[in-house]
Structure 1
């Protein structure tokens, strides 16, 4: 290749990536424009709660999310409190983001007042609730406490918790990665080149994701947004570490940077593409989910990984070609210098000692390692991953959670968040009586557009009396609202709604039950179903990829078995920490699913880094020497990559969302377990113990032991 082209080509690659970063960078702050944190936006189309949510618009003038204002004074309310509450109603009714406001509702004990303000369907829930809270705070007399809770309040608190996901999360992750890279490489320049590669991959992926979300192709929420940032930074850095390791080796063997680049690309192309492809296929299995939130993460994460692979194989080689040996200053590799001795008594360093341990007692090493992981996995027996109340989604202070507790002290716990029953209009009274007869239901009314309050009493149950208008009928159906005795996100409310569904089905087989509680039930049930389906599919797909990559059946089974045991250990320890150390109320069904997908897919990354090098060395030196040389050559880079990935996922813990905090712990701990125990001890020892049989039925299984 002409010398001029050797200069122009890398410069052109860098210029293209810098242009992409310049265009995509501003979209990092704009992705919130196409994100939503409304729980109903992620329900499957087949869920009852989804159907009721869509049909409820036909029965009400106000179709937005309700915000519940609760006012409380110890020792009883006075006239000034009642006047202030009336003023709040008037001021809220004048707001453009509020569709309807209920009259002031006093509690039976005389210590609290309730106001339900339904937001407009087009309002930004977070901004609208902040405005409502400001209105309420301005109108309060001394001694009167106020809270804005209900579905809108919880959504607003969730949105506020996600507010740091653009700047804080990314900043913490990048600082952690930079510190680790400086310690590992002891170079001021190389870490900056690696981070430039990772950030460029992130901006490119965000640009694509923003365009797809804006076009309605994918649905993005806060958790998808946060996981994308962490996944891309971690994965791109991992792939970059593998390439920089190969490039440093190549600079010892080749005089020119161009020849070293070609050699490094030959050595790293297969493992990086295979690793990235494995993760892409693994996350795309999430498309089998019925939950749109899971479906969204699949293609979004796949886009991020693809960008990471592309940047690691184009931008990073171009940057290193520009700086060559200076990139590793002050420990620059010298052409013609000897490579580190990887095996034998002359080998020095931590990985030489690990190799000698594995080489002396391989069976003892893998048996002890496996037993240790299985003991950690016993924590799975106490895992509670069937859903958590909406009030516990935010870790730390939450006005909506505090307000819900106050509301439950003075009113039926489900006030402002009724269960919705959509049924046959000809059976209105029968349905109403059946609903009222369910334990845990305090009152039943029917939606009525012409009534002053928007509802009318029906049936012979609670809140009887002469209705002021007829229930609204649409397509031959009516919408009943059942106020629950317990908070809408409580386990007791879920039991009531499940009983409610069984009861109304006997009266009207076509009746559907929706609302806040039903949404949580359908989401959790679907999440459990997805987990049961997707985990085996991911295992099967990754096993097939490993068989094709390693040209073997036994070695891939060993690797899959190791990641399963490692995942069980990480989740088991996580369950113990969540229950007995942090006191969490449980976990979302998606926590085990996401943890599995990331740990298995990314754990296989390290398997691929290790085993492709082992296979390469085995072809040259035989099975035993191949394992030990492969371990020595990749031990440092795999450990560094694992520490980087663990640090980036741990950064998710700075976002006060229970789901992300739990994912952060399980994945970070699992990655460290993978790199320190599984890749360093268990897998090499087991492959060494199996000897040539590990490569059956490929030709490696028929080669002599020593060559």
Structure 2
């Protein structure tokens, strides 16, 4: 019976091993099957996101601003979908009779195809030199941006036909500006997706030096992007969330940038564990345990920072918060589940030709980051002082940042609408080409019109649409659109009409919108920035168990943001010739750089904390963390900066500015702040870096 008993005991010992091995094989396949289902369900909805994005003027306006309320009231007036445009004809030396005849024929054709308020003889004004004519068109029956765009294209086609040689015909005005902007937006998604994927692919090939490995994280981040697009589309349908093309563009960059960063950290730790653990499944489990908390905290800071944007009054900013948060969550979920499953199934061979062999040590090369750490350790106070001084000096460049970006300066390549507005500005220097809109209760419309005409700075007043409850007045100022003079006129108009009892008169229009944007962005900065700082601090303290370390990391990335804004001031106007800065960028870039920039500090300090818990002294832990994480964190920083730099290839000034500021800030944080400033601060503070946690106690010293 003894042999039988021994056999049973042996089987009893082997059964758990076999069951464990089976589970190790089954779990990765189950995870992959789960994501295949997710992809199959979400793919049809992901493609609908671009069509659901809204880029109307009101979608980029503050929710509670006066100019926003004007836009909503205009939609309720008779012909609420009326779109205003300016048809401009110009000939150097003066318009000829044939030019006037052609213009009249064009107007008849336009009136025959579209419903014009005023029929085929809308008001036309000729400049004093007789070289330019300007005709105001009000086109009704255009319910959405798509219909408006088609109408703009149709009118442009008409005026290009049978046009005398030498006559320049252009279509401008608010609807033409928005149509040109929407056309640019529609071209962004595909270009951005391909550009970002291409940049990430090239960098992964260079980083991994493997012909196969780079494909895995790139494919996984593609799955995350599809899931995120479908998720955002669901939010739009469920909660009527305002999602603009800028929001979806930033989300795409975030998914590729943040997702690739998480992949780099996980793969580096997995490669390290494969040399000490025989089975890939067990090595991956150890890798996730080691870097998982840092990755979770990293994504947590980004999500927390983005969700704080929901407190903003600006529609485009508040909508960007949940959109970006969905993107980061999908990137995190895919990189911490799907990526490990695929890598485990592929085994060690995915790293070919540099395969990590069990029981061996990685080839020790001369470490640049060890040299950096040693240089910082010799004179940490001097290094810290010089680094902080450099960042502060750079930040003074922000004083040279250009003023508020005007609509006509928002494009890198000037479209027809901008050319038309510039022609009008040159031909009619004493009048604005874009109307100021006043909406009042109809019974008080006459009284309001008298007050408007009596306001200093007003050139002309034209009646607009009128309904039983509300009436529209179109006001043209003496000053140019979006100029300081027109803004002063709008302020005077608001003072004048607000005082008329019972009129409930409010003032809007393009320049009024810009004024409200400036005011709202300033208010949003005062509300959102403190919320972001508190949210990030909470996540950092929870991870690092230290108030001091959390404060050092936050102060460091604030310095990076200030320096990035300063460098932008030295580049945007003087070198690139940009005439303005998008007013939402100071807040948005602050949120992104605080949330994303602090990630690299998290990776560094989490590794330092690990070393301290193993018994290393504060100085040794700081230098070891820099040496061991330097390569992968630098790679992650370069990838993130490169993905945001892709925005600089797009044809909108605001996106170029955003990409530049964030890319520069990330690079500063990667190469200066993390390597020198945070490390120097750790060397100077020693155990106090970890106050008030247990690592700050003297007994933890070695």
Kindly report which structure 2 residues correspond to 1:146-295, keeping only aligned pairs within 5 A, or say none: 146-295=169-318
Deviation at 1:531, TM superposition (A): 1.7
Deviation at 1:212, TM superposition (A): 2.0
Structure 1 counterpart of 2:7: none
Whether 1:662 aligns to 2:624 is: no
Whether 1:697 aligns to 2:692 is: yes
Deviation at 1:67, TM superposition (A): 2.2
CA distance in 2, matches of 1:295, 1:75: 50
Structure 2 counterpart of 1:79: 97
Deviation at 1:434, TM superposition (A): 2.3
Structure 2 counterpart of 1:390: 407
Structure 1 counterpart of 2:542: 548
Kindly report which structure 2 residues correspond to 1:440-459, keeping only aligned pairs within 5 A, or say none: 440-447=457-464
Q: Does the CA-based 8 Å contact 1:404-1:487 persist in structure 2? A: no
Equivalent of 1:585 in 569, 572, 579: 579
Q: Does the CA-based 8 Å contact 1:286-1:298 persist in structure 2? A: yes
- Give the TM-score taking structure 1 as reference length: 0.91
Equivalent of 1:309 in 321, 324, 332: 332
CA deviation vs aligned residue, 1:121-140 (integer Å, no higher than 9, x gap): 41413333222211221242
CA deviation vs aligned residue, 1:311-336 (integer Å, no higher than 9, x gap): 11001101110112112111111111
Structure 2 counterpart of 1:464: none
SS of residue paired to 2:460: strand
Deviation at 1:24, TM superposition (A): 4.1
Equivalent of 2:474 in 481, 485, 496: 481
SS of residue paired to 2:31: helix
Structure 2 counterpart of 1:457: none
CA distance in 2, matches of 1:57, 1:538: 36
Structure 1 counterpart of 2:124: 105
Q: Does the CA-based 8 Å contact 1:98-1:120 persist in structure 2? A: no
Using a 3 Å threshold, how does the CA distance of structure 1 residues 311 and 295 change in structure 2: closer, same or farther? Answer: same
Kindly report which structure 2 residues correspond to 1:425-504, keeping only aligned pairs within 5 A, or say none: 425-447=442-464, 472=466, 474-475=468-469, 477-504=470-497
Whether 1:399 aligns to 2:420 is: no
**May I ask how many residue pairs the two structures share in their alignment?**
677
CA deviation vs aligned residue, 1:368-389 (integer Å, no higher than 9, x gap): 111111111111223345x221
Equivalent of 1:688 in 683, 686, 694: 683
Structure 1 counterpart of 2:143: 122
Q: RMSD between aligned alpha carbons?
A: 2.2
* Residue segments in structure 1 that go unaligned for 5+ positions in a row: 342-346, 449-471
CA distance in 2, matches of 1:169, 1:38: 21
CA distance in 1, matches of 2:578, 2:156: 28
* Residue segments in structure 2 that go unaligned for 5+ positions in a row: 1-18
Using a 3 Å threshold, how does the CA distance of structure 1 residues 12 and 295 change in structure 2: closer, same or farther? Answer: same
CA distance in 2, matches of 1:438, 1:706: 75
Deviation at 1:478, TM superposition (A): 3.4
Worse-superposed segment, 375-384 or 264-273: 375-384
Worse-superposed segment, 427-436 or 152-161: 427-436
Deviation at 1:58, TM superposition (A): 4.6
CA distance in 2, matches of 1:394, 1:22: 38
Q: Does the CA-based 8 Å contact 1:149-1:399 persist in structure 2? A: yes
Structure 2 counterpart of 1:364: 382
Deviation at 1:85, TM superposition (A): 1.6
Q: Does the CA-based 8 Å contact 1:567-1:670 persist in structure 2? A: yes
Deviation at 1:298, TM superposition (A): 0.2
Worse-superposed segment, 135-144 or 574-583: 135-144
Structure 2 counterpart of 1:453: none
CA deviation vs aligned residue, 1:181-205 (integer Å, no higher than 9, x gap): 1111111111111111211111110
SS of residue paired to 1:589: coil
Deviation at 1:358, TM superposition (A): 2.2
Structure 2 counterpart of 1:454: none
Using a 3 Å threshold, how does the CA distance of structure 1 residues 131 and 18 change in structure 2: closer, same or farther? Answer: farther
CA deviation vs aligned residue, 1:103-145 (integer Å, no higher than 9, x gap): 2514143322333142534141333322221122124222211
Using a 3 Å threshold, how does the CA distance of structure 1 residues 193 and 260 change in structure 2: closer, same or farther? Answer: same
CA distance in 2, matches of 1:119, 1:132: 14
Equivalent of 1:421 in 416, 429, 438: 438
Worse-superposed segment, 25-34 or 304-313: 25-34
Using a 3 Å threshold, how does the CA distance of structure 1 residues 491 and 158 change in structure 2: closer, same or farther? Answer: farther
Equivalent of 1:570 in 564, 567, 580: 564
CA distance in 2, matches of 1:100, 1:670: 54
Structure 2 counterpart of 1:467: none
CA deviation vs aligned residue, 1:439-495 (integer Å, no higher than 9, x gap): 3321113335xxxxxxxxxxxxxxxxxxxxxxx4533x5332212234433343222
CA distance in 1, matches of 2:80, 2:548: 62
CA distance in 2, matches of 1:487, 1:17: 56
Kindly report which structure 2 residues correspond to 1:50-65, keeping only aligned pairs within 5 A, or say none: 50-61=68-79, 63-65=81-83
Whether 1:629 aligns to 2:646 is: no
Q: Does the CA-based 8 Å contact 1:173-1:651 persist in structure 2? A: yes
Structure 2 counterpart of 1:43: 61
SS of residue paired to 1:439: coil
SS of residue paired to 2:54: coil
Equivalent of 1:91 in 92, 109, 113: 109
CA distance in 1, matches of 2:499, 2:138: 34
Using a 3 Å threshold, how does the CA distance of structure 1 residues 704 and 523 change in structure 2: closer, same or farther? Answer: same
